Every structure is written in C-alpha cells, then in structure tokens.
Amino acid sequence: MTNGRWHAVAARLLPNMPNFAPVAASALFAGTVLRSKPLALLVPLIALPISDAVIGFDGWRITLVTYIASTIPALLPMLSARLREPGMFAPVMVACSLIFFAVTNLGVWAFSGMYPLTFEGLVACYVAALPFLQHTVVGDLLWAAGLFGGAWLVKKVAGRNAERAPAATHAIH
C-alpha cells in the first residue's frame, strides 16, 4: 500500500502531460481493494499535499475543492459492491474523471478570480478547461488499467504458485 501512495506522488511530480496523473486511479484502486475505508481515503489525501509541497499549492479554497474531489474515486466503490466488480473499473474511472472535471473547474470559476461569477464566466471556465479533460480521462484509465491489471496479474501468478506448492512439498517428502 505504501508503495502505491509513493507511486502516486512520484508520478505526479515527474514531467508529464497536464492532468495525466495516477492520483484518481490510485484512489479508485484503494477504494476497491482495501478493506479499511479511512485508509483508502488517505491515499489521495496524502499523495496530493506531498506533491503540492513540491509543485506548489493553489489558493486554499481551490486546494480544498481539489482534495475533496480526489476522494470521490475512493468513495464510489465503498457505496456499492457492484462498483467493485472487475468489469466496472473503466466506467467508474471515466465517471470519476468527469466528476473531477466538473467539480474542480466549478471551484476554479468560483474561487480563482479568473472568471466573472456569471453564467458566461462559468461557461468560459469549462471551455478553457476542455483541453485538459482528455488528458485526465486517458491518464486515469491508463493508470487504473495498470493498477487493476497489475493486481490481476499478481493474483494469477500467486494462484499458480499456490497450486504448484503442494505438489512440490509432496515430492520432497
């Protein structure tokens, strides 16, 4: 678990495309596989401030909105066992990407001072953010595929090794 949290921090700090980060995928993975709900919520809440300490914080209100939105991928699988089923990680990850886009850009509009607090300002904020959405969705899906696929592979290999272990033990005796 600790390695996953540091992975999320390191990957967010390395040069990459904007919004192509493993934080949401790590949160979804934690919310799906960890039995401890508080621990799953801590994954993004630890990764974000550590990486923000290096790359810089936004205003406290935007930071708060971002951190809260980053816990949503950990929360969703806790709400329904159906959302933890193997085939659900991709649709849930896309939903989380879209929710993150909507919530965080609402926060940027409301708290950054970059846009007038009018309907036109809100539309302008979302339009300006659209180029980043594709990186968010693709990044979240690729990171999630890597995490869930890696876990599946480890489970598969461990299962094979467990099947072989009793046969090898009998051969030694």
The per-residue pLDDT for range 147-163, each reduced to its tens digit, is: 999 998 998 888 777 66
CATH code of 114's domain: 1.10.1760
Residue 10 pLDDT > 80, yes or no?
no
Q: Specify the number of domains making up the chain.
A: 1
pTM of the model: 0.80
Residue 107 pLDDT > 90, yes or no?
yes
| Contacts with 65 (C-beta within 8 Å, 6 or more apart), sequence order | 103, 104, 106, 107, 111
Tell me how far apart the alpha carbons of residues 49 and 65 are, in angstroms, rounded to a whole number.
Answer: 13
Residue 131 burial (CB < 10 Å; 0-12/13-18/19+)?
A: exposed
Domain that holds residue 38: 2-172
Residue 117 CA to its chain's centroid (Å): 29
